[in-house]
Each structure stands twice: as C-alpha cells, then as structure tokens.
Amino acid sequence: MNTIVIFFSRADENYFGGSMKYVEVGNTEIAVGHITELTGFDSFKLEMVQPYSADYMTCIDEAKAHLRENARPELKEIPDVSGYDTIILA
C-alpha cells in the first residue's frame, strides 16, 4: 500500500504549560517525522502563501478570523496524490 501523510504544522511562538515558548519545528511535524521514520510513508508539509504570524496571540486572531470567514488560505503547493492508495491528514 502506497501511503502519504499530508500535514500542517506551526512552529514559531507556541503555548506550552502556561507559558509562551519559541519552537523551530511544530508538534505535528515532529509527530509526522516519527511516523514516516517508522513506516516509510511519504510526507508533505502544507504551507500557506501568506503564513500566520510568528507571534502566538496574533496567529490566534488570524486563525479565528479565517474560521469566521470560512476562509481557505492559499497554499504554496498542493501535492499530487494520484499515486497513493491512502492519504493521512495531520
């Protein structure tokens, strides 16, 4: 079975255990890295043309606005999934 994991992951400033911390790699990207290492699945990171702000609170406001507006931000690239039997979204 040919499988790909397509994921969105946010680095920058994040909220951890009551405080803000800067991370270079987001949690979902870390998890997908483990999954693909263990399984050999392909992976593809979705990235927005206009990324969310690095500042956590600003990012939250931007994401809430997108949710209210039912917005679908433009992606830099969309993977060709025609050769895959299974697609996992993370």
pTM above threshold 0.95: no
On average, the pLDDT of the chain sits at 96
Q: Where are the domains of the chain?
A: 3-89
Residue from 29, 23, 32 nearest 56 by CA:
23
The CA distance from 22 to 15, in Å, is 9
Task: Band the pLDDT of 17: cuts 50, 70, 90.
Answer: confident
Q: Tell the burial category of 1 from Cβ atoms under 10 Å away from its Cβ (0-12, 13-18, 19+).
A: exposed
Residue-wise pLDDT for 37-54, tens only, equals 999 999 999 999 999 999
Task: Band the pLDDT of 79: cuts 50, 70, 90.
Answer: very high
Q: What's the longest Cα–Cα distance across the chain?
A: 43
